[in-house]
Chains A and B, each alone.
Chain A
Amino acid sequence: MAETTGTAPQPGGPGGTGIGPPERHHFLWIIGIWVVLVVPADLIFWFVGGPHMPPGTMTSSAAGQQFDFNVLTMMAIPVVLAVLVYEGYALTTWRASRGGPEPVTNANSRGNLAIQTAFIGVSTAIVLGAFIFGTYELVAPAGAGGGEGPDAAWTPGTHSVLPIQVIAQQWKFTFRYPTFGGFETADLVIPANSWIAFHVTSLDVIHSFWAYQLGVKADANPGYDNIAYTKTTGQLGNFTIRCAELCGIWHGAMFDTGQVMSVPAFKAWAAATEIKLAAATKLLPPFAWTYIPDANGADGGYYPDNEDPYSPVEMYGAQKVTVTP
């Protein structure tokens, strides 16, 4: 394909037979059409569509994901348009039905080392650029919203992080607040303008904790403390919680709503909830970052289960607790 690159148009069409009108410079035409389409498309996307792309700006990680998506889409538009323009050009210019001669069969029709090397160089540079960009976006926020395992490599440079344990089981999420007496609640409430560390674990099968508007997703693996950091912005309101990993028949029903409050409102809520749930908290097993599932695999030995028909075989996990009225 390089035979026209940097060379004068060959007379007589592809065969260069010397018969017929001079051939136009294909590359210039293709690039010209492409530029005319790409510039407005990218600008329209960036300024019109981009600011509204999900998941929004409720946390630093969500805003980062929105930015990343917009940047990648800005990169994708030129590439996709290049191929579409090329195909359109090829089909209108080089159609056999237009009575063209036999195609070029000179040496360059089988390859052109310079052009191919240039393409490899450019594509490798783009790929390395994407790698640097993606890694920077992963590392720099010190909490890009993804599960980083029990020993997170990139943690916020502050000790003022609110830990919240996310306990997944078939088919619900519950949340423990270890800094507020370890109470457990079905309501996920977090403060605005704060660093949060979600410690995600499971009592049975694998789930995935996905707080959509927060830009947080971390797999809930049994016996595993998967930590995801994020920093809330000043934006208050509700966010959606879903399980993103197939976990059984009611997987689709495993969703909930969380709330971002102002810091004073959150403190008031936490203190009140700690008091309200104090009696129930005493029945919970001691707070730990993970709870080993039990032999029946149903509740992870987490809850007292005198009524559990599988109790005789329950050999693992938390000690059985005798509940007295």
Chain B
Amino acid sequence: MTLLEERPPERYEAPERRLTEVIPAPKNKGILAYLTSTDHKQIGINYMVTSFTMFLIAGAMAILMRVQLAVPNNNFVSLTTYNELFTIHGTIMLFLFLGPFAFGTANYLVPIQVGAPDMAFPRFNAFSYWLFLGGCITLLSSFLTSSGAAQWGWFAYAPLTEWIHSPGPGGDLWIVGVALAAFSSMFTGINLITTVFCLRAPGMVMFRMPIFTWNQLVTAFLVLLAFPVLSADLALLWADRHLGTNFFNPARGGQPILWQDLFWFFGHPEVYILALPFFGMATEIISTFSRKPVFGYKGMVFATLSIGGLSMGVWAHHMYTTGAVLLPFFTIMTLLISVPTGIKFFNWIGTMFRGSVRLDSPMLFCLGFLVCFLLGGFTGIMLALPPLDFQLHDTYFVVAHFHYVLFGGSVFAAFGAIHYWFPKFTGKKLDERLAKITFVIMFIGFNLCFFPQHDLGLRGMQRRIATYPSSAGWSFLNMISSIGAFILAFSMLPFLINVWETLRKGKKVGPNPWDGMTLEWVTESPPIPHNFEFIPPIRSERPVWDLNHPDHPTLPHGKHAREMARERREAAMAGVGAGGALGGSATGPATDGDGHVNGHGNGDSPGDGNGSNTPGDGGDGFGGGSP
């Protein structure tokens, strides 16, 4: 798992000066920095800010929809506008918010967490962002066309999407916008995988990588498996609309269900692409705020890998009612995926067990994430059973289910991540009081908005209807849901005020205000251009904790614990101190105002027995990070 053993014996050789010596480019500032930067941190910020803006836009669309549905027989928006709203709302949330936001955090954090100075392909990385921004602009511009934006829902079932049923450039811009986002995602996936495999710092073996980075790695592989299928699907649709082909046209032998198969072959891994990075964020936060290592670290890793693998085989559970699905196969595959997901859940709460739990705002959001995601996960199990799916498919029960998974799960974790890493991004910490107010309002609003939708679905309200008769018996629950939506939207106000005020007036905090455990917390806030002047010895998945808490190091477990105990006994019998046998030498780390290590220094940290902790190999810090 590591290249460490394969490194040649270290001996100092004076570097030969070459004509290719890197001369730092002049540093741009302001808008020019934004436009020209290839720094992964700037690109990460670009991704996050852009995708969050798209989140606010799509959220505003959701509010318009909830106004329309608040009362029966409403005419607040036209039928056409309503269809445009839910189509673009879903498309933005899935393609242009959650995924790109996750890529933004990956861009910013993954290179730092593995001890690298940048992503593997910085210019390619910038290109990915510009493609994504192009996708955003393209999609939103479809509202300006004569035909309006696409009106076929975010999963765009053919043949409704054929030209004869949905003519006009609005649909074409939807296809192009989504395709641009898809290519952006694929390029980012390539970049992430290369970065993780090729740029890890010495000592950062695979099983010492933070869970966040692991999850981003698996997500990147899923992107490379799923998004090409989506791209092909979009190309076929474009060809049907403009080149006279008939892939999905039943009038000339095309197969509409082919679209569904291809789309969901992408679409279900996409759900995990939108979930796994946020699982990683929650893992880091819960561990930090419980002041404990992740319980069952390797179990978490294998659970992530299992989720990634199984997610490629469950696509047709979205298609139970088509009559073209081998139901038991997809039932068992779908149910099996709940096992590794359950492992993750178990390990999250196991991490809290007998910890020292701090209820700071990131942890609050993660506790909300645990509750909401649990509900979403369990309704997912219900929907996996075909007889129940026959009743609940395409109803508001499903709408509630996936909002509990993707908002209650991913978005709550995303807000936890924003509050957690904001000091790293900006050097300033968000105001805790406003952050907690944000959480409380968001949690209440979210549940008030989406919990009644379970009941609406059970009472027979199908998705994507612009209005309903008063006799349907859905009026009260819809009103409650709409009130919840307004409260949810209102929760953005304290958050945005908090961000604004903190950026303007916030006090500088040190590099590690939360007592974080992974490598990003050892460098400056925000990090210097090449990220590190110093990297501590990496002997476990939380090297910064080991550095800052030599009295509570991350201990090995399992057979490694037994081996370590034996070594200690042998060392004691030989009259040699165990610390000297197991750790590098200490040279007095510099500390910041919080007492945490902040500068060049060497820790006295134990090995974790993962295969490369030969005594003393972690004694030195490594500037720059590239092997």
Q: Which residues of A contact B (CB under 8 A)?
A: 1, 3-4, 14, 26, 53-55, 61-62, 64-65, 68-69, 72, 76, 79-80, 83-84, 86-87, 90-91, 94-97, 100-113, 115-116, 119-120, 123-124, 127-128, 130-131, 133-135, 137-138, 144-150, 152, 204-206, 208, 210, 212, 215-219, 221-224, 226-228, 240, 242-252, 292-298, 316-317
Q: Which residues of B contact A316 (CB under 8 A)?
A: 251-252
B235 interface residue per 8 A CB criterion = no
Indicate which residue in B152, B321, B331, B357 contacts A95 across the interface (CB closer than 8 Å).
Answer: B357
Q: Which residues of B contact A246 (CB under 8 A)?
A: 83, 152-153, 157, 160, 463-464
Question: How long is the Cα–Cα vector from A181 to B415 in the complex, in angstroms?
Answer: 63
**Contact digits for B334-360, partner A, Cβ 8 Å, 1 yes 0 no:** 011011001101110110111111110
Q: Which residues of A contact B554 (CB under 8 A)?
A: 105, 110
CB-based contact A227/B357 at 8 Å? no
Q: Say whether, besides A86-B349, A224-B323, A297-B162, A111 and B296 are in contact (CB < 8 Å).
A: yes
Cross-chain pairs A/B with CB under 8 angstroms, 21 sampled: A87-B352, A87-B370, A90-B352, A90-B355, A91-B359, A95-B357, A103-B356, A107-B557, A109-B293, A116-B296, A128-B335, A138-B327, A138-B386, A145-B387, A146-B327, A147-B321, A222-B159, A222-B250, A245-B157, A247-B160, A297-B164
**Contact digits for B293-329, partner A, Cβ 8 Å, 1 yes 0 no:** 1111111000000000000000000001111100110
Nearest CB to that of B379 among chain A residues? A76
Question: How long is the Cα–Cα vector from A296 to B159 in the complex, in angstroms?
Answer: 12
Question: How long is the Cα–Cα vector from A179 to B357 in the complex, in angstroms?
Answer: 70
Nearest CB to that of B160 among chain A residues? A205
B561 interface residue per 8 A CB criterion = yes
> What distance in Å separates the Cβ of A37 from its nearest Cβ neighbour in chain B?
15
CB-based contact A250/B79 at 8 Å? yes
Question: How long is the Cα–Cα vector from A251 to B463 in the complex, in angstroms?
Answer: 10
Nearest CB to that of A252 among chain B residues? B465
B604 interface residue per 8 A CB criterion = no
CB-based contact A107/B321 at 8 Å? no
Nearest CB to that of A121 among chain B residues? B339
Q: 9 tightest CB-CB pairs across the interface, nearest first?
A: A252-B465, A149-B323, A1-B353, A134-B385, A146-B390, A147-B323, A226-B323, A107-B561, A244-B394
Q: Which residues of B contact A228 (CB under 8 A)?
A: 323
Question: How long is the Cα–Cα vector from A135 to B552 in the complex, in angstroms?
Answer: 50
> What distance in Å separates the Cβ of B65 from its nearest Cβ neighbour in chain A?
13
Within 8 A of A (CB), among B535-585: 549, 551-558, 561
Question: How long is the Cα–Cα vector from A80 to B464 in the complex, in angstroms?
Answer: 29
CB-based contact B342/A123 at 8 Å? yes
CB-based contact B165/A205 at 8 Å? yes
CB-based contact B350/A204 at 8 Å? no
> What distance in Å separates the Cβ of B560 from its nearest Cβ neighbour in chain A?
9
B493 interface residue per 8 A CB criterion = no
CB-based contact B386/A146 at 8 Å? yes
Question: How long is the Cα–Cα vector from A301 to B158 in the complex, in angstroms?
Answer: 19
CB-based contact A217/B390 at 8 Å? yes
Q: Which of B215-223, B454-462, B505-513 contacts A (4 or more CB under 8 A)?
A: B454-462
CB-based contact B251/A96 at 8 Å? no
Question: How long is the Cα–Cα vector from A86 to B367 in the complex, in angstroms?
Answer: 11
Question: How long is the Cα–Cα vector from A226 to B322 in the complex, in angstroms?
Answer: 7
CB-based contact B321/A208 at 8 Å? yes
Question: How long is the Cα–Cα vector from A240 to B460 in the complex, in angstroms?
Answer: 9
Nearest CB to that of B562 among chain A residues? A107
Indicate which residue in B353, B374, B393, B468 contacts A79 across the interface (CB closer than 8 Å).
Answer: B374
Q: Say whether, besides A95-B357, A138-B328, A292 and B338 are in contact (CB < 8 Å).
A: no
Question: How long is the Cα–Cα vector from A104 to B297 in the complex, in angstroms?
Answer: 16
Nearest CB to that of B289 among chain A residues? A96
Indicate which residue in B152, B251, B336, B561 contacts A127 across the interface (CB closer than 8 Å).
Answer: B336
Q: Which residues of B contact A146 (CB under 8 A)?
A: 320-321, 323, 327, 386-387, 389-390
Indicate which residue in B158, B328, B343, B349 contacts A116 across the interface (CB closer than 8 Å).
Answer: B343
Question: How long is the Cα–Cα vector from A221 to B322 in the complex, in angstroms?
Answer: 8
B290 interface residue per 8 A CB criterion = yes
Q: Say whether, besides A251-B465, A297-B251, A316-B252, A105 and B555 are in contact (CB < 8 Å).
A: yes
- Could you say which interface size class chain B belongs to? 35 or more
Q: Say whether, besides A94-B355, A111-B557, A297-B159, A127 and B338 are in contact (CB < 8 Å).
A: yes
Q: Which residues of A contact B256 (CB under 8 A)?
A: 205-206, 221-222
CB-based contact B151/A249 at 8 Å? yes
B395 interface residue per 8 A CB criterion = yes
Q: Say whether, besides A76-B378, A83-B349, A204 and B165 are in contact (CB < 8 Å).
A: yes
Q: Say whether, besides A26-B353, A53-B458, A94-B357, A131 and B164 are in contact (CB < 8 Å).
A: no
Question: How long is the Cα–Cα vector from A133 to B388 in the complex, in angstroms?
Answer: 12
B587 interface residue per 8 A CB criterion = no
**Contact digits for B146-179, partner A, Cβ 8 Å, 1 yes 0 no:** 0000011100011110101100000000000000
Q: Say whether, besides A83-B349, A297-B162, A135 and B331 are in contact (CB < 8 Å).
A: yes
Of A53, A109, A240, most buried by chain B (CB within 10 Å of CB) is A109
Q: Which residues of B contact A133 (CB under 8 A)?
A: 385
CB-based contact A84/B371 at 8 Å? yes
Q: Say whether, besides A124-B339, A206-B160, A244-B395, A135 and B357 are in contact (CB < 8 Å).
A: no
CB-based contact B328/A135 at 8 Å? yes
Contacts A87-B349, A97-B358, A109-B354 supplied; 7 other A-B pairs, CB < 8 Å = A14-B354, A62-B391, A95-B357, A105-B293, A109-B295, A149-B324, A204-B159
Question: How long is the Cα–Cα vector from A83 to B345 in the complex, in angstroms?
Answer: 9
> What distance in Å separates the Cβ of B117 from its nearest Cβ neighbour in chain A?
30
Nearest CB to that of A72 among chain B residues? B382
Question: How long is the Cα–Cα vector from A46 to B350 in the complex, in angstroms?
Answer: 31
Indicate which residue in B297, B355, B391 contacts A69 across the interface (CB closer than 8 Å).
Answer: B391
Indicate which residue in B257, B292, B387 contacts A105 across the interface (CB closer than 8 Å).
Answer: B292
Q: Which residues of B contact A113 (CB under 8 A)?
A: 558
CB-based contact A123/B343 at 8 Å? yes
> What distance in Å separates the Cβ of B541 from its nearest Cβ neighbour in chain A?
9
Of A120, A146, A245, A295, most buried by chain B (CB within 10 Å of CB) is A146
B66 interface residue per 8 A CB criterion = no
Nearest CB to that of B381 among chain A residues? A130
Q: Which residues of B contact A131 (CB under 8 A)?
A: 328, 331-332, 335
B467 interface residue per 8 A CB criterion = yes
Indicate which residue in B257, B342, B467 contacts A224 across the interface (CB closer than 8 Å).
Answer: B257
Question: How long is the Cα–Cα vector from A128 to B338 in the complex, in angstroms?
Answer: 11
Q: Which residues of A contact B464 (CB under 8 A)?
A: 246, 251-252
Q: Which residues of B contact A249 (CB under 8 A)?
A: 79-80, 83, 151
B384 interface residue per 8 A CB criterion = yes
B375 interface residue per 8 A CB criterion = yes
Q: Which residues of A contact B549 (CB under 8 A)?
A: 102
CB-based contact B354/A3 at 8 Å? yes
Indicate which residue in B152, B370, B458, B552 contacts A102 across the interface (CB closer than 8 Å).
Answer: B552
> What distance in Å separates the Cβ of A172 from its nearest Cβ neighbour in chain B?
15
CB-based contact A61/B160 at 8 Å? no
Q: Say whether, besides A14-B354, A76-B378, A103-B356, A119 and B343 are in contact (CB < 8 Å).
A: yes
> What distance in Å separates the Cβ of A5 from its nearest Cβ neighbour in chain B?
10
Q: Which residues of A contact B499 (CB under 8 A)?
A: none
CB-based contact B355/A111 at 8 Å? no
Indicate which residue in A61, A83, A112, A243 contacts B462 across the interface (CB closer than 8 Å).
Answer: A243
CB-based contact A206/B371 at 8 Å? no
